Amino acid sequence: MNQIDKHIGRRAFIRNTGLAGGGLIIGFSWLNSCKPKNISTEQALEMPKEWFEINAYIKIGDNGVATIFCPNPEFGQGVMTAMPMIVAEELDISWKDVLVKQAPFNTELYERQFTGGSQGIRRSWEGLRMAGATAKQMLKQAAAEAWQVPVSEILVSDGVLSHEATGKTAGFGEMAAAASNMEVPENVETKAVKDFKIISHSKKNVEGKQIVTGEPMFGLDYQYEGTLIAMVEHPPAFGLKLKSFDDSEVRNMPGIVDVFQINTYDDNFVRNFFDTNAFPDLVAIVGKTTWEVMNAKKKLKAEWEPITEKKLTFDRFGSISEVTVPSGLESTNKHNELMEKMASQPGEIARKDGDPESAFKNAAKVLERSYSCPFLAHNCMEPMNFFAHVTEEGIKLAGPSQAPSIIESTLASRLDVPAEKIEIEMTRMGGGFGRRAYGHYAIEAALISKQAKAPIKLVYSREDDMTFGIYRPSYQATYRAALDENNNLIAFHVKSGGVPESPLFANRFPAGAVDNYLAEQWVINSNITIGAFRAPRSNFTAGVEQAFLDEVAEAAGKDPIDFRLELLKRVKENPVGEENDYDPDRIAGVLKLVKEKSNWGQTPPGVHRGVSAYFCHNSYAAHVVDVVMDGDQPRVEKVTCAIDCGIVINPDAASLMAEGAIVDGIGNAMYGNMTFTDGKPDHSNFDTYKMIRQNEAPKEIEVHFVQNEIDPTGLGEPPFPPVFGALANALYKATGRRFTKQPFSTDKPPLVG
Amino acid sequence: MAKLNLKINGEVKEVDVDPSTPILWVLRDHLNLVGTKYGCGIAQCGACTVHLDGTATRSCMLTVSMVGNSEITTIEGLSENGDHPVQKAWLDVDVPQCGYCQAGQIMTAAALLDKNPNPSDEEIEMAMNGNICRCGTYLRIKKAVKIASENS
């Protein structure tokens, strides 16, 4: 058994008395209770007559049913099920007696309620275990006192306490009241991995029933009496801002209540990391129903004018920087021209090992390849939206956000309201992918509510959503490799950059494996806004690096997996440099597992295979992609995937995450493409922005997990980036041609004259 | 605006809306039936799928004036207790990630199986291609449709 102890600190344990609702409530700094939510009556569980709050994560009913709160907001990654599983495991209750609820937003209680970076489980692992283990200890204490026996002799299993010598037993329900009065223990023991009964045993999505019956769950479904609908009009192009508007035709349209301008923040507002926003000046239309407001928006006349270059101040988690936003109306063909120009010039050196220049000069073979990718729109299925009700008393908000603490912070600053007066209800998100960490729409909703003096639901149309910005950047990379006469890789050079950020990771594989190594980067500034998109930067770099390694392996006459394993062996035994940002054994581990599970080397007839492996966001993933040809059209038939994310909390849900990442990767590699003409996004809806469909998804996906006892790491992002590389490598085998320009569906060979 | 009667989930509902209002917004904003979702507004994503006399129809472009006496079924009315074979198969296979597209997927699948109880993989793909899943649950969707077809 393990002990988690004092790094939390005794001072964090406070004892509260006199809280409304009766019963003593014990609080950690993040374990205070809050108003309980309405118990859902559609649960099959019998509801208790009385609930006892053990801590902020757990309430136990007098009949032994427990409510476990999930602190993090859910966007399909499965935390609503996985986080309570961890608590339930250490509590040692039967999963069938667990009711799960979304916790309210309260970082004093729950410390970290951010969804993104694949960090949720990883960062909350110890805290969640502690919540369960502490509660179990308190229940044991209650039984020990009731039975007048030593607490060390109390056993717990599946919600039942027992004492062998006396034969006494009791369910959690019988001891809950007494347990809620116990001192919070200082040291608690947690289970050994081999004793897990819930963790690593698949459980179904706790909200499955609500989803398949259409229960209100999403921000767009939010209901509140007296709510008016609002929509906002933003400029049609990046590089433009609002000059004036004419609402004369709109004001008298059916259902319209008001039309006015809002300013989300002015140029002097110190923005935080997620306050990205190209369009702070908006026209807001407020009305009674969505359709009426949509119609009015179509009739709104607005005039736009070019922006002038401006400097904005960002406070990125304490680090203040100034960002210059250039003026101008940018186009994709110009971006591509500029990127090619930057690629041909020296970049900023990020890492240099040995003497790459000499190595390349003296090489037997030199390979070079350039790659590029376009901007991508996140295209969450649920468009951006948020509810806000601003009154004298404070601000009540509800809606889809990955980063409610950022919204609270920006809103407190913008509206000069103390954080304690801001309440945020986290609804289930219809997708996030990074987009919903940028909460401009919550600020807009609050500003509109304040002006309209009414509760407001702000709704973005699909067109509003797709053209607002905060895209995945456009990137370019040029790779070079040098082989000696024995086909050893003696030098490796990557130069990459993008509009408007570099995707380079200088210390990732194959850095550390090559004596002579050079990594350079460059940036082209832009007024098109960008933001985190599922595995930022990795989502380009993984694919192109893995495609290039394939080419190098081929030139060296080696099998692509063996080639990588050789290099990884070298990193393990004799690494170059000390800053190698990955565990070579674990990359090798997923490669070996995927090699075995895909029957690598025994490719079925008609199948063309590509492999890749990558480490990002703390986890390791490898894919083998099987492409077949339908006539002259390549199609992905099957993907075999191997993942090392440490302990897998909910295996079936984890497989589902990998499946989704694979489909998403294929879709974006093949089709995703946001382009611009004079600042205007060329696509605003799914009629022209192509999304992957049912018949384009692989027919089969197999996911395998490396079994180990390493503390769990994330899964939302890691399986996504390497898909692009494995796909490119499979397409090469299928067609004889290297696909280097994403989206691959438009990367056609030049016509032969 | 006009007072009109609509047959929805076996009941007659009176609504006071402009006849050019899409059924999607009548459901969501006037009848408190928010299971039918808005995804694109131009019948490209399938999130708004309902049944019109049993046929899968995108309600974002189905106006009140087009409906007449036809019966509309929404996700809320697909079954009494969420126990339609498609819904049960969805839970069995544990299909959803974010869940936003799933009501539309289920409605399309239910209409397919009603007309074609034993669809081939290709027929499933053709019928379901109008429903986008951004989270990529397509493989499980197909598996659930097949299980539902075996069980109905």
Are the Cβ atoms of B101 and A381 closer than 8 angstroms? Answer: yes
pLDDT digits (tens, 9 = 90+) for A313-324: 999 989 999 999
Q: Which domains does chain B have, with CATH numbers?
A: 2-77 (3.10.20.30), 85-151 (1.10.150.120)
In B42-126, at which residue ranges do the beta strands (DSSP E only) sit?
A: 49-52, 55-58, 71-73
> How many beta-carbon pairs under 8 angstroms link A with B?
181
B75–A697 C-beta distance less than 8 A: no
Collapsed DSSP state (helix, strand, coil) of residue A465: helix
Token digits of residue B86:
């498609």
pLDDT at A16: 31
Largest CA-CA distance found in chain B, in angstroms, rounded: 46
* B contacts of A379 (beta carbons < 8 Å): 134
Q: Nearest 5°: phi and psi at A655?
A: -60, -40
Report the SS3 class of residue A145: helix
Helix (H, G, I), strand (E, B) or coil at B12: strand
pLDDT tens-digit series, residues A63-113: 999 999 999 999 999 999 999 999 999 999 999 999 999 999 998 888 899
Q: How many CB atoms lie within 10 A of CB B117?
A: 11
Q: Do A81 and A72 contact (CB within 8 A), yes or no?
A: no
Residues B40-65: tens digit of each pLDDT:
999 999 999 999 999 999 999 999 99
Helix (H, G, I), strand (E, B) or coil at A339: helix
CB atoms within 10 A of CB A96: 10
Residue type, A683: H
Nearest to A68 by CA among A146, A151, A129, A123: A129
Q: Which of A228, A211, A233 is nearest to A430 (CA)?
A: A211
Chain A contact for B29 (CB, 8 A cutoff)? yes
Tell me how far apart the alpha carbons of residues A591 and A642 are, in angstroms, rounded to a whole number: 7
* pLDDT for the residue A729: 98
Predicted local distance difference test score (pLDDT) of residue A456:
98
Whether residue B25 lies within 8 A of chain A, CB to CB, comes out as: yes
pLDDT, residue A31, reads 23
CB contact under 8 A, B136 and A687: no
Helices A120-147 and A79-91: crossing angle, nearest 10°? 30
Closest chain B residue to A215 measured between Cα atoms? B35
Element (H, E) at A108: helix A107-110
Nearest-CA distance B11 → chain A (Å)? 18
Reported as a single tens digit per residue, the pLDDT across A311-355 is 999 999 899 999 999 999 999 999 999 999 999 999 999 999 999
Q: Which of B59, B97, B101, B146 to mutate: most A Cβ within 10 Å?
A: B97
Q: For residue A21, what pLDDT is reported?
A: 31
Residues of chain A with Cβ-Cβ distance to B139 below 8 Å are 659, 663, 697-701
CB contact burial A146-158 (16+ within 10 A = b; e otherwise):
ebebeeeebebee
Q: Do A431 and B44 touch (CB under 8 A)?
A: no
Q: Do A214 and B34 touch (CB under 8 A)?
A: yes
For residue B98, the distance in angstroms to the closest alpha carbon of chain A comes to 4
**Helices B85-93 and B138-151, packing angle to 10 deg:** 130
Mean pLDDT value across residues A233-262: 97
Which one, of B109, B98, B149, B116, lies nearest residue B131 by Cα?
A: B109
Report whether A559 contacts A565 (CB < 8 A). Answer: no
Quote the radius of gyration of chain B (alpha carbons, Å). Answer: 15
Nearest to A289 among B25, B36, B124 (CB): B25
Phi, psi of A243, deg, nearest 5: -105, -50
Q: Hey, which bits of A264-318 come out as E strands? A: 271-272, 281-287, 301-306, 310-316
Whose structure tokens read 């611009």? A676
β-pairing verdict for A271-272 and A310-316:
parallel
CB contact, 8 Å: B47 with chain A?
yes
Beta strand A51-55 pairing with A474-483: unpaired
Handedness of CA B51, B52, B57, B59 (dihedral sign): negative
Q: Which two tokens stand for residue A129?
A: 């275990």
Checking if the pLDDT of A497 tops 90, the result is yes
CA-based nearest residue in chain B for residue A699 = B139
Label residue A214 left, alpha or beta by phi (over 0 means left) and psi (-120 to 50 means alpha). Answer: left
CA distance A158 to A93: 4
Q: Å from A383 to nearest chain B CA? A: 7
Residues of chain A in contact with residue B99, where contact means CB-CB under 8 angstroms, are 76, 207, 211, 217, 428, 430
Are B19 and B62 within 8 A, CB to CB? Answer: no
| Averaged pLDDT for residues A607-611 | 98
pLDDT at B88 over 70: yes
Give the pLDDT of residue A187: 85
pLDDT category, A620, cuts 50, 70, 90?
very high
Distance from CA of A43 to the nearest CA of B (A): 12
pLDDT over threshold 50, residue A483: yes
Q: Is A343 on the interface with B (CB under 8 A)?
A: no
How far does the CA of residue A296 sit from the closest CA of chain B (Å)? 13
Beta carbons within 8 Å of A631's beta carbon, 6+ residues apart: none
SS3 content of chain B, % helix, strand, coil (to 5): 40, 20, 45
If 0-12 CB within 10 Å is exposed, 13-18 middle and 19+ buried, where does residue A95 land?
buried
- Residue A246 backbone phi and psi in degrees, to 5: -125, 110
Domains and CATH numbers, chain A: 2-208 (3.30.365.10), 219-311+384-459 (3.30.365.10), 346-376+471-746 (3.30.365.10)
Rounded distance between C-alpha atoms, residue A630 and residue A608, angstroms: 12
Sheet strands (E) in A164-318: 168-171, 188-190, 228-233, 240-246, 256-263, 271-272, 281-287, 301-306, 310-316
What's the whole-number mean pLDDT along residues B114-118? 97
Q: Which residues of A touch B97 (CB under 8 A)?
A: 76-78, 656-657, 660
Distance CA(A190)–CA(A132), nearest Å, equals 9
Q: Which residue of B has its CA nearest to A203?
A: B94
Per DSSP bridges, beta strands A676-677 and A680-681 are antiparallel
* DSSP 3-state of A85: helix
Report the pLDDT value the prediction gives residue A753, as an integer from 0 to 100.
56
Mean pLDDT of A368-388: 98
- The number of residues making up chain A comes to 753
Any B CB within 8 A of A571 CB: no
What pLDDT sits at residue A30? 24
Asked if the C-beta of A382 comes within 8 angstroms of chain B's C-beta atoms, the answer is: yes
CB contact under 8 Å between A212 and B94, yes or no, is no
Do B135 and A687 count as a contact with CB atoms less than 8 A apart? no
- Please check whether residue B1 touches A, CB under 8 A: yes
Residue of A nearest to B83 (CA): A213
User: Which residues 132-151 of B are in CB contact (within 8 Å) with A?
Assistant: 132-142
Average pLDDT over residues A572-589: 96
Separation CA A259–CA A223 (nearest Å): 22
Interface confidence (ipTM) of the complex: 0.98
Q: Which pLDDT score, from 0 to 100, does residue A28 have? A: 29
Q: Which chain A residues touch B142 with a CB distance below 8 Å? A: 694
Buried b / exposed e over B15-46, threshold 16 CB at 10 Å, is bebbeebbbbbbbbbbbebbbbbbbbbebbbb
* Cα A151 to the center of its chain, rounded Å: 42
pLDDT at A22: 30
Q: Do B132 and A462 touch (CB under 8 A)?
A: no
Closest residue in B to A383 (Cα) is: B39
DSSP code per residue over A405-452: HHHHHHHHHHHT--GGGEEEEEPBPS--TTGGG--HHHHHHHHHHHHH
Query: For residue B1, which residues of chain A lie inside 8 Å, CB to CB?
Result: 254
**Smallest CA–CA distance from A698 into chain B, residue:** B139
Which of A289, A297, A381, A696 is the best mutation test for B, with the most CBs of B within 10 A? Answer: A381
pLDDT per residue as tens digits for the range A21-42: 333 233 322 222 222 233 333 3
Q: Which residues contact A9 (CB under 8 A, 6 or more apart)?
A: none
Interval A706-713 mean pLDDT: 97
Q: Quickly state the pLDDT bin for A667 (edges 50, 70, 90).
A: very high
B52's tokens: 């019109």
**For residue A670, which residues of chain B lie inside 8 Å, CB to CB?**
none
Nearest CA-CA distance, residue A133 and chain B, Å: 29
DSSP H or E run through A372:
strand A365-373
Partner-chain residue, chosen from A379, A685, A694, that has the shortest CB–CB distance to B134? A379
Chain B, window 63-82: residues with a beta carbon less than 8 angstroms from a chain A beta carbon: 74-76, 78-79, 82
Contact predicate A168/A142, CB 8 Å: no
Q: What percent of chain A has pLDDT over 90?
A: 91
Cα B50 from Cα A250, distance rounded (Å): 31
Report whether A719 contacts A618 (CB < 8 A): no
Q: Return the closest-CA partner of residue A696 out of A741, A663, A653, A736.
A: A663
Cα–Cα dist B51/B74, whole Å? 7
Residues from chain B that touch A73, judged by Cβ atoms under 8 A, are: none
Beta-carbon separation of A291 and B22 below 8 A: yes
Cβ contacts (< 8 Å) between B40 and chain A: which residues?
462, 685-686
**For residue A337, what is the enclosing H or E element?**
helix A332-343
Interchain proximity B76–A380, CB inside 8 Å: no
pLDDT > 80? residue B128: yes
By the CB < 8 Å criterion, does B28 face chain A?
yes
Can you tell me the mean pLDDT for B78-93?
97
Give the chain A residue whose CA is nearest to the CA of B36: A214
Judged by a CB distance cut-off of 8 A, whether residue A269 touches chain B is no
Q: How confident is the model over A173-218, as pLDDT tens digits?
A: 999 999 999 988 988 999 999 999 999 999 999 999 999 999 999 9
Per residue in A411-435, pLDDT (tens digit) is 999 999 999 999 999 999 999 999 9
Contact B139 A659 (CB under 8 A): yes
Q: Do A738 and A732 touch, CB atoms closer than 8 A?
A: yes
